[in-house]
Amino acid sequence: MADMLLSTGVHDTIPSNYVRPENERPHLDHVIADANIPVVDFGASDKSQIISQIEKACRLYGFFQVVNHGIDAELVKKVLAITLEFFRLPPEEKAKLYSDDPAKKIRLSTSFNVRKETVHNWRDYLRLHCYPLEEFVPDWPSNPSSFKDVFGSYCKQVRQLGFRILGIISLSLGLEEEYLVRVLGEQEQHMAMNYYPKCPEPELTYGLPAHTDPNALTILLQDPHVSGLQVHKDGKWIAVDPKPNAFVINIGDQLQALSNGRYKSVWHRAVVNSNKERMSVASFLCPCNSVLISPPEKLIADGSPAVYRSYTYDEYYKKFWSRNLDQEHCLELFKRDRETCPDAPTFPCPDTPT
């Protein structure tokens, strides 16, 4: 199955099993240029200003970018260089890591879930579990030779940045700074190194179709030279263009649930282009599998009912992977009103006609 990898060859045409139906295509000419995506300066001296900016971004966008975040710029350059080097390895080298089993903790694959899909996505990716490092690093790739050292250092720094962001999000909700880090338990950490080859007909397919992230927090390192990330807001798709030395932060489904719906895990997608290959490295902070996801008393004490029923992250994650990526928002399946009214209206993927 490793011969399915897009990164193994040059593509003059797009195979039919990558072509989306007309009403599910990205309509790239309708996308709005980078429309004031919030940028938060973590180097600012006024912490209250940072808290206020993040509160507004989480509530209105579900996305923001951070600069002066403390992650070493040279390390970031090495991460991007090694990502590209990895996907340019010979096919026989990459075949050693290939798997289409979503449950496998370290695997190279393509699209999203090739076992379930009828239409594939124009993407290859290497999925890694990253915490605890000493448990997983031995099974990481040894080629390129500096892979383990560079990505090990990167994962440590990203995890600390994530905890810092979670602390500020807690404060922005009126909770103590340690609240979210504490209730999420011994958080797992995953990483997806994404490679989007040049595509001869980018208007017919996606790198990744519209989806939300099932985890708590995502820290995305974008290719600094090639745009591709888009976020859905107010019925329109907005391009999140790369900003120098910035990370894109997005709220995952679990923070939407823990904030009792105040903060939004919004639809986002990756598109491709015919001129350049593109990379990104997404780092995911995930609740401990056994943690019970339920809003804090403080957020329902004012008479606001709990929007979602309580559930474990393990239950949620299994439900997420049992579906196609571009189905309705998975959180809709956990709404309390679905328990009493199973025919309650749902909110489909914005690329799906209503």
Helix %, strand %, coil % of the chain (to 5): 35, 20, 45
pLDDT value of residue 17 = 94
Nearest residue to 116 via CA among 321, 348, 349, 328: 321
Nearest residue to 30 via CA among 236, 323, 205: 236
pLDDT value of residue 323 = 72
Q: Is residue 190 part of a domain?
A: yes
Q: Domain of 186: which CATH number?
A: 2.60.120.330
The partner residues of 281 in beta bridges, in order of sequence, read 193, 221
Q: Is residue 354 part of a domain?
A: no
Q: Are 255 and 263 in contact (CB under 8 A)?
A: yes
pLDDT tens track for 61-112:
999 999 999 999 999 999 999 999 999 999 999 999 999 887 889 999 998 8
pLDDT tens track for 116-160:
788 999 999 999 999 999 999 999 999 999 999 999 999 999 999
Q: Are 311 and 292 in contact (CB under 8 A)?
A: yes
Q: Is residue 323 part of a domain?
A: yes
Q: Is residue 353 part of a domain?
A: no
The partner residues of 195 in beta bridges, in order of sequence, read 124, 279
Q: Is residue 347 part of a domain?
A: no
Taking all residues of the chain, what is their mean pLDDT, rounded to a whole number? 91
pLDDT value of residue 117 = 83
Nearest residue to 274 via CA among 81, 18, 23, 12: 12
pLDDT value of residue 147 = 98
Per-residue pLDDT band for 354 (boundaries 50, 70, 90) equals very low
Question: Which residues form the domain of 9?
Answer: 2-340
Q: Is residue 324 part of a domain?
A: yes
Nearest residue to 133 via CA among 161, 147, 153: 153
Q: Is residue 167 part of a domain?
A: yes
pLDDT tens track for 177-223:
999 999 999 999 999 999 999 999 999 999 999 999 999 999 999 99
- The total number of structural domains in the chain stands at 1
Q: By three-state DSSP, how is residue 200 classified? A: coil
Q: Are 7 and 94 in contact (CB under 8 A)?
A: yes
Q: Is residue 350 part of a domain?
A: no
**Residue 343: pLDDT over 60:** no
